Amino acid sequence: MPHLAHTYHRSELAAQYAGMNRDVVRVDVRVSGAALGRLVDVVRARTRERAVSRQDCLTAYVVTVLNRCGAGSIDVVANAASYRNIAAPWVDAAVAGNPIYIVRTDLGRGAQRLSDIALTIRRSIEKWREPAFIGAHMSVASQLMLDAANARRSMFFAAEPGVLSVNSNLSLDWQSADFGYPSRARFHTSGINERYLRTFHVNPNPKDHGQGENIEMSFGVSASLRDKVVDMLATELDSPAFPVNLDVL
């Protein structure tokens, strides 16, 4: 469990994160619902797998972008997943908390084809939905976190080389929690880590019908790569030919 391998005293955490992200800048990009729908349709047709999700396709696309821009070969995807709805004796839906675990997917060295990457991610997630896998994972993770807490230390989630970490909110209808201000409540993700991908539905805008289907992505990259990454995303996503304009499908 590399993501739980490093701990520091709480007074040291801020400096550790600041040092890790010293040369990292944030990239924000919007993906239209229409473009994402076309991407999903193409990937499902090529893989013959209807279970491949929108997030699987978005993640796979970001992997190809980072690989093509020279961010280093992305060989592993680490998805934050929830076990709240898993049918297992140790899962209690009435217990409050953050029931997450990390699904690590090995893509193989130099993975290039978007469709293959998306399918590999989906199969890995489905495998890690099995209670036996989750139970073993959480037993170890819980012990590591308990040891850190007893030592008055906190986990430091380092950006691993060759790993894209993913934390998706696409399954959450956050706009339904408008606090009495429909179409006015706003959600803004905070913070960046290198190769840490966040996805969520765009903020509502009454002037833009259907905007709720659009997606926003946020992730950190090396400052030296930012312009190249942003230019590639804009060129490809803004094209009416997306995704057939990609040579990595």
Over residues 79-97, mean pLDDT: 86
Residue 244 domain flag: no
Residue 159 domain flag: yes
User: If you ran DSSP here, which 8-state letter would residue 178 be given?
Assistant: -
Q: What is the C-alpha to C-alpha distance for residues 233 and 33, in angstroms, rounded to an integer?
A: 15
Instruction: Give the predicted TM-score (pTM) of the model.
Output: 0.92
Compute φ and ψ for 217, nearest 5 degrees: -120, 145
Residue 247 domain flag: no
Q: Parallel, antiparallel, or unpaired for β 153-155 and 100-106? A: unpaired
Residue 187 has pLDDT above 80, yes or no: no
Q: What is the C-alpha to C-alpha distance for residues 248 and 112, in angstroms, rounded to an integer?
A: 6
Residue 169 domain flag: yes
* Number of domains comprising the chain: 1
With b for 16 or more beta-carbon neighbours within 10 A and e for fewer, the 210-236 pattern comes to ebeebbbbbbbbbeebbeebbeebeeb
Domain interval for residue 149: 2-237
Taking all residues of the chain, what is their mean pLDDT, rounded to a whole number?
Answer: 90
Q: Parallel, antiparallel, or unpaired for β 196-201 and 163-168? A: parallel
Q: What is the pLDDT of residues 95-140, one digit of tens each?
A: 777 788 999 999 987 678 999 999 999 999 999 999 999 999 999 9
**Chain centroid to CA 48:** 23
Question: Which segments within the chain are labelled E, that is strand?
Answer: 7-9, 24-31, 76-82, 100-106, 153-155, 163-168, 196-201, 215-222
Among candidate residues 75, 73, 74, 92, the one with its CA nearest the CA of residue 84: 92
Q: What is the C-alpha to C-alpha distance for residues 221 and 136, in angstroms, rounded to an integer?
A: 33
Residue 248 domain flag: no
Q: With pLDDT > 70 as the criterion, what percentage of the chain qualifies?
A: 96
Most confident of 131-140, 181-190, 209-218: 131-140
Residue 243 domain flag: no
Residue 249 domain flag: no
Q: What is the C-alpha to C-alpha distance for residues 101 and 78, in angstroms, rounded to an integer?
A: 10
**Chain centroid to CA 212:** 19
Residue 143 near residue 90 (C-beta atoms within 8 A): no
Most confident of 56-60, 157-161, 245-249: 56-60
Q: What's the pLDDT at 207?
A: 61
Distances (CA, A) of 127 to 73, 81, 113, 114, 171: 24, 12, 21, 20, 19
Q: What's the pLDDT at 243?
A: 97
Residue 59 domain flag: yes
Q: Residue holding tokens 């076990």?
A: 83
What's the CATH code of the domain at 137? 3.30.559.10
Q: Parallel, antiparallel, or unpaired for β 76-82 and 163-168? A: parallel
